[in-house]
A and B are shown apart, each in its own frame.
Chain A
């Protein structure tokens, strides 16, 4: 079974803070993804990575950056958190077509 874990289930931060969300997968997958999930808006891709140190912007990269220093780990960074970044953040990994998801991190920015 593919195991994708995320560092926190719930996170509360203040406006302007730097926020790190961590994702780890144990299946040696090349591809990793960060999404945000909001009611009525579905899943929106923030960034993805297809190899170590490689990244590509998704549909809504503004206000976010990512880091992939090791194959199993993909970090999402909010440089200066804002209230409109309050959301559920989902990490996923894949070796081909189907993606496998972590449990999500519900981030609240006050």
Chain B
């Protein structure tokens, strides 16, 4: 079955510390992976997608097909990074629906 797993419901780090939000997936085929972010009282928005191979707000994520992972990383966390983060996978059999992880709430403490 196609599945996205975010093992941590809550991740708490101090400002300036490295942060890694984990995402593992189960999928047979060539997936496209996304990270979405929702800041407090704001809409859910696309943070980055693996095919773009870009860094957004200092975050990067590399697709590791061997480990079926797409972890989100940032070397130095900032307080404004505190948000809910969702990992999602496109269903290539029907490229309209996303399969979502349950989300990780990141708290960056001063």
Contact = CB atoms under 8 A, between A and B. Distances in A.
Interface of A: 31, 33, 40-43, 45, 48, 50, 58, 90, 92, 94, 96-104
A42 B97 contact: no
A41 B101 CA distance: 9
Interface residues of B, number: 19
A98 B47 CA distance: 10
Secondary structure at the A interface, as helix, strand, loop or mixed, is strand
A101 B43 contact: yes
Contacts of A100: 45-46
Given A97-B90, A104-B43, A31 B96 contact: yes
A98 B44 contact: no
Nearest to A44: B100
Interface in B10-54: 32, 34, 42-46, 49
Given A41-B102, A98-B34, A100-B46, 5 more contacts: A42-B100, A90-B43, A96-B95, A101-B45, A104-B44
B96 A103 contact: no
Interface of B: 9, 32, 34, 42-46, 49, 86, 90, 95-98, 100-103
A99 B98 contact: yes
Contacts of A48: 96-97
Nearest to B46: A98
Contact of A101 (B44, B96, B100): B44
A43 B86 contact: yes
